[in-house]
Structure 1
Amino acid sequence: MDNYPLTLRSLFERSQTLFPKKEVVSRTITGIHRYTYADFGRRAKLLSSSLQALGVKPGDRIATFAWNHHWHLEAYFAIPCMEAVLHTVNIRLPADHIAYILNHAEDRFLFVDETLLPIIEKIKDQLTTIEGYIIMTDKKALPPTSLQPVYLYENMIESGDPHFTYPEYINESAPAGMCYTSATTGNPKGVVYSHRGIYLHSLSIGLSDTLGLSERDTVLPIVPMFHVNAWGLPFASVWFGSKQVLPGPAPTPDILLRLVADEKVTIAAGVPTVWTAALKAQEALQLDLSSLRAVVCGGSAAPRSLIESYEQRLKVPFYHAYGMTETCPLVTVARLKSYQEKASLDEQYDTRAMQGLLVPGLDMKIVGPRGEVAWDGKEMGEIMLRGPWVATEYYKDVRTAEAFQDGWFHSGDIAVIDSEGFVKLVDRAKDLVKSGGEWISSLDLENALMAHPNVFEACVIGVPHPKWEERPLACVVLKDAALQAGDKKGLLAFIEDKFAKWWIPDDVVFLHEIPRTSVGKFMKRELREQYQTYFTGD
């Protein structure tokens, strides 16, 4: 058969040929911006031609430092379709990590949101390879800034060549994008995505047993476009002709819910903390969310209680998924097999609270100390992956040798797998509580605690113990700050029938909030440092 290259140009051209009338809705700091895929395509080519005029060549890394909006979507295609590399930079990382990432990637130009200029201005003297800054704003003039040289995005669109065309042939193995992990120790690690990998990952999102994305959908990617390509949704949505709703700068739960109601969003994707906050906001707003056919949840494990709340109280289907920066990111989706729908509702929720079945196209094995684990839902091991959208190395990083071995990516995630092939995350290897030589899953304990009606969030950490090496400590945020926080025994009694006695946390501390990483995950390392002498008294 023909050796047809799988590239982002194919995705882009299909949107222009078949879906020019479909709409992209973008929230900016001044209001709602609307245009069509035809407008999007024209502007993306004009942007590419202006970047070429600035000297951008195939293989050059071009960074974006931006929220989810139409300018960012244009860059998503304008950069890789001219054979440069789209490098999305996490705006929530510490300043020293942002500087490291931009320098390590050797980015030549940086697209910056006007609202984010102060972050880059503070580190500008540390940046060694940036040749210019492109400011994204809907204002007519450049905002005041100490960055130099600067270019106004809209001026670049106006000065672009309307006859610009993309190359006929692009090597499908060439890099199209890159993203760096959010590091808890050491510097972030760079992951490069090929045209072929993004193409095939986009196909996987459209499968009916994964997310089933289609032309009929209106897609709201709450997950940031600076983090793992917004889980691939912008790429797939352009290809399939789905209407996109981009939530813009610093969206609150109220803003997100109003976008769902106003734009009749059918599928939205975000991390558990987003869906927890949205659930609370909806209790007050009581908006019409009936257009939603699914909310997609990933980034960290969602408690069963959250899934039940969406489906029983809001009547919105909840898709639990799992992936990583290194996997583009989709790996598993918790969709029931046909015959599992005959099980009791309780059994169905137990299954759907797992991370789910491996998506078609990937290979996986779960390996423990004695080799591949039994499919019994009990034996723990590390998830290992390979496939066309799984990374094979870190970008210019010696840590490649540790994470990529014998053709497999070693994820660092500890899991079990049941007889049906459903994967359940037990913990990150570094977050397992190791007590008396046995492993305790902090995730299982957190999910059980989250089911308590007075608990808003729960995080369980392993804390040094003089006898047992480590013991679990529960860090809990209550739903109502006015509630009495003294009933620790009652909270632990609530979960004691669900676990072996030695799994139950030795104590509970009540917090106003739990520290989070830049992508919304609990910062367990910070909590472990804070409470490292809690049981030893040192």
Structure 2
Amino acid sequence: MQGRMMFQPLLISSLIEHAAQFHADTTIISKNTNGSIHETNWLEVSENAKRTANALAALHLEHGDCVATLAWNNHRHLEAWYAISGSGLICHTINPRLFPEQLIFIINDAKDKAILFDKTFLPLITAIKAHIPLVKNFICLEPFDADVAKALPEVKFYDELISGQKPDYVWPTFDETTASSLCYTSGTTGNPKGALFTHRSTLLHTFAACLPDSLDLSANDIILPVVPMFHVHAWGTPYAAAMVGASMILPGPGLDGDSLVNLIDEYQVTVALGVPTIWQSLLAAAKQSGSKLTTLKHNVIGGSACPPSMLATFRDVYDCETIHAWGMTEASPLGTVNRPKAKHRKLSVEEQAALRLSQGRPPFGVNVRLVNEENGTHKLPQDGETIGNVQIKGHWIIESYFGKEKNSLTEDGWFDTGDIASMDADGYLHISDRAKDLIKSGGEWISSVELENIAMGHPEIAMAAAIAADHPKWDERPVLIAVKQPESTVTEADILDYYEGKIAKWQIPDKVIFVDAIPLSGTGKMLKRKLREEFGNVLLGENA
């Protein structure tokens, strides 16, 4: 017997409709590419999204076509974002920091029919235009600009395009498993791969993200998504903010520490989300300016492991709870979130701090297991010690990559993440490393993450990356690549001495190399592949 409850498909358009009806006057602040501030609200975002949907329909874009966005976090991008997916098109968010060859590949692979872009990225558009023949419409997310029009004569301007449209668009109803958006992996090896999300997977992910045991978002919050909208939907925050009716501060291209501190203080931000490299610059700027970030109640750190020193600084200096999370493009991206349980109140301060360093436990909707080897099926114990390959399955986990017929799962239906971790009985995941970043010295594994976390605890180190360098005797040995704090006089010997007593002696790096900067990916992750290419041979010829 079937139930007798009403059925409505889970569609992204329902989020913006809800926000417009019940949170119409909730403020959204947008920092534009020219540095100006634009204030809007959920009702205006909804109305402009409908105008944009009408404008896209007038361009003869059809249901299922891919429409690309090459833009920062701003109000026009947000409006277009809802217009594209809500109307049955596929929103393809592009990472502008990819190489031109990769941009050309993913635009052609997605068969994008239109590109909406910020003026910042005009040089990219003009450089690749001849190589993306399927794109028929170029829309600049700005008012009319003579310089843009001169460089790209066929360009249309967003403000002009929607000004003649009415906000009477009726969001279509279709199957909830319809594709909604497309994100490509960073493609550190080979071409990027596309993850094609559905309306259903996105809505379920949004429900999970808002939960108190997850990112804990509500209509009381003022959210600053520092993580870009082209990085797995800014971790889903534009969807979550609409679902709960939260206010948003969209930071535009200014992601430096000073700009972020100013936004947090001026607009009383309560929740901010970003990768560790972003928070390093923010903490330095807050210290320099004397800001206490008084309204910031919690920040979310993902993308890579959070150094213990950073978590302690947020807690002890700024009274801000750090939510350590883990995920990936293929998981929409939420996989685990570190929120304590009631029983953890009994732990000592030191034990609670140690717990918060893990990447947390999965919310309902995701399952996680450890297996003995990549694509293996022998499940390992959840004892907090045994290390294994992390595999996941769930309502918003990828099944196969866009354009690929081959299933990407194991024989028994799990997705192998490429991460190495331990997991305790409560499901708290402690990521040791990416499988490709583990250092194998004399047959024993060394975690690059652990080496980096220790180095980052030194007050004179601003950033650190540990890599495997070839060694004539031990095959591989760890080498630390580090960036000093301004005016620091710290030496290699100082850093090596700092490791004493914190890690087994044989795991201490063989060498410390100071550099001015560590290369970062478009999502703020350290590009260890480039570091290995540059420094992977520094130990050859040296004696162990």
TM over 0.5, shorter chain: yes
Deviation at residue 450 of structure 1 after TM alignment: 0.9
2:391 equivalent to 1:384: yes
Match of 1:247 among 247, 251, 266: 251
The runs of 4+ residues in structure 1 deviating greater than 6 Å are: none
Corresponding position: 1:37 with 2:13:
no
CA distance, structure 2, for counterparts of residue 128 and residue 140 of structure 1: 24
Contact 2:255–2:278 (CA<8 Å) still a contact in 1? no
Partner of 1:119: 124
CA contact (8 A) 1:303 1:450 kept: yes
Q: Distance in 2 between matches of 1:439 and 1:96?
A: 35
Give how far 1:37 is off: 1.2
State the distance in 2 between where 1:495 and 1:415 align.
Answer: 22
Kept in 1, the 8 Å contact 2:67–2:112? The answer is yes
Given that residues 113 and 137 in structure 1 are in contact (C-alpha distance below 8 angstroms), is that contact kept between their aligned partners in structure 2? Answer: yes
Measured in 2, the distance between the counterparts of 1:7 and 1:141 equals 38
In the TM superposition, 1:301-312 aligns within 5 A as: 301-312=305-316
* Aligned counterpart for 1:270 among listed residues 259, 268, 274: 274
Which of these residues, 465, 469, 492, is aligned with residue 463 of structure 1? 469
- Aligned partner letter, 2:65: D
Residue 338 of structure 1 is matched in structure 2 by 342
After TM superposition, the score normalised by the length of structure 1 is 0.96
Residue identity matched to 2:103: I
Q: Separation in 2 of the partners of 1:339 and 1:162?
A: 51
Could you tell me which residue of structure 2 aligns to residue 78 of structure 1? Answer: 83
CA distance in 1, matches of 2:142, 2:465: 39
Q: Give the stretch that moved more between structures: 235-244 or 497-506.
A: 497-506
Q: How many residues align?
A: 534
Sequence identity (%): 38
Q: Contact between 2:286 and 2:292, CA under 8 Å: does it hold in 1?
A: no
Alignment gaps of 5+ in structure 2: none
Letter in 1 for 2:386: E
Can you give the 5+ residue segments of structure 1 that lack an aligned partner in the other structure?
A: none
CA RMSD of aligned residues (A): 1.6
In 1, the alpha carbon distance for the partners of 2:490 and 2:366 equals 48
Alpha carbons 2:27, 2:42 under 8 Å: kept = yes
For residues 305 and 196 of structure 1, the distance between their equivalents in structure 2, rounded to whole angstroms, comes to 39
**How much does 1:405 deviate?**
4.6
Equivalent of residue 453 in structure 1, options 444, 451, 459:
459
Q: What whole-Å deviation, never above 9, does each CA across 1:284-341 have from its counterpart, x for those lacking one?
A: 1123521111111101001111000111011111111111011111111111112212
Deviation sequence 1:383-428 (CA, Å, 0-9, x none): 1111111111111147x55565532111001111123321011111
Q: Secondary structure at the match of 1:385?
A: strand
Q: Is the 8 A contact 1:362 1:387 kept in 2?
A: yes
Q: Equivalent residues in 2 for 1:263-412 (5 A)?
A: 263-369=267-373, 371-397=378-404, 401=407, 405-412=411-418
Aligned counterparts of 1:110 and 1:297: Cα–Cα separation in 2: 30
* TM score, norm. by length of structure 2: 0.95
3-state DSSP class of the match of 1:363?
strand
- AA paired with 1:469? D
**Are the counterparts in 2 of residues 5 and 171 from structure 1 also a CA contact under 8 Å?**
yes
CA offset at residue 501 of structure 1? Answer: 2.2
What aligned pairs does 1:4-19 form with structure 2 within 5 A after superposition? 4-19=8-23
8 Å contact from structure 1 (residues 333, 357) kept in 2: yes
SS in 1 for 2:294: coil
CA–CA distance in structure 2, aligned partners of residues 326 and 350 of structure 1: 28
State how far apart, in whole Å, the 1-side matches of 2:150 and 2:137 are.
13
Q: Distance in 2 between matches of 1:194 and 1:11?
A: 14
CA distance in 2, matches of 1:100, 1:152: 25
Q: Which amino acid aligns with 2:392?
A: L
The answer on whether the counterparts of 1:476 and 1:508 sit within 8 Å (CA) in structure 2 is yes
1:158 paired residue among 157, 163, 168: 163
Contact 1:392 1:404 in 2 (8 A): no
2:422 corresponding residue in structure 1: 416
CA deviation after TM superposition for structure 1 residue 273, in Å: 0.4
